[in-house]
């Protein structure tokens, strides 16, 4: 059930998550091809890694202060209320650190599976 609807987009209730960031490097991903779990090429400002048990892959997510991302990737440390935001440069990911942010699930099914 949507929390509210804005310009025809269903928006879920705010979920507080711990957000970190990563890039396509060997250190962040144990591989460096930049291909997500969904088979897409990871893109800054777009790609988000999530726990697919909580946010299904393909879901659009609004991240407070950052914009709309698509859940396309997963990570061994990304479990529960954790998200990992893709960034172009490793330095940006390191500088982002770990932040508590609010996210909102967008679309048809906005119910978080928590
Ligand atoms: Zn990296």
Q: What is the pLDDT of residues 38-79, one digit of tens each?
A: 999 999 999 999 999 999 999 999 999 999 999 999 999 999
φ/ψ of 24, rounded to 5, equals: -90, 10
pLDDT for the residue 111: 72
Domains, the chain: 4-106 (2.40.40.10)
Nearest 10 degrees: Cα torsion 80, 84, 85, 87? -170
The Å distance, Cα 5 to ligand 1 centre, comes to 36
pLDDT above 70 as % of the chain: 95
pLDDT for the residue 32: 95
pLDDT for the residue 7: 78
The Å distance, Cα 108 to ligand 1 centre, comes to 33
Q: Which residue has the higher pLDDT, 112 or 60?
A: 60
The Å distance, Cα 65 to ligand 1 centre, comes to 22
CA gap 29, 24 in Å, rounded: 6
The Å distance, Cα 104 to ligand 1 centre, comes to 26
pLDDT for the residue 31: 95
Residue 112 has pLDDT above 90, yes or no: no
Question: What is the chain's mean pLDDT, rounded?
Answer: 93
The Å distance, Cα 23 to ligand 1 centre, comes to 4
The Å distance, Cα 77 to ligand 1 centre, comes to 14
pTM, full prediction: 0.91
The Å distance, Cα 107 to ligand 1 centre, comes to 30
């Amino acid at each position: 059930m949507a929390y509210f609807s804005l310009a025809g987009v269903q928006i879920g209730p705010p979920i507080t998550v711990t957000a970190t960031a990563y890039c396509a490097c060997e250190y962040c991903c144990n591989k460096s091809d930049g291909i997500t779990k969904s088979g897409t090429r990871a893109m800054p400002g777009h790609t988000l890694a999530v726990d697919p048990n909580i946010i299904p892959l393909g879901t659009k997510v609004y991240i407070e202060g950052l914009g709309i991302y698509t859940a396309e990737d997963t990570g061994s440390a990304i479990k529960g209320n954790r998200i990992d935001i893709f960034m172009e440069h490793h330095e940006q990911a390191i500088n982002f650190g770990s932040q508590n942010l609010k996210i909102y699930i967008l679309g048809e099914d906005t119910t978080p599976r928590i």
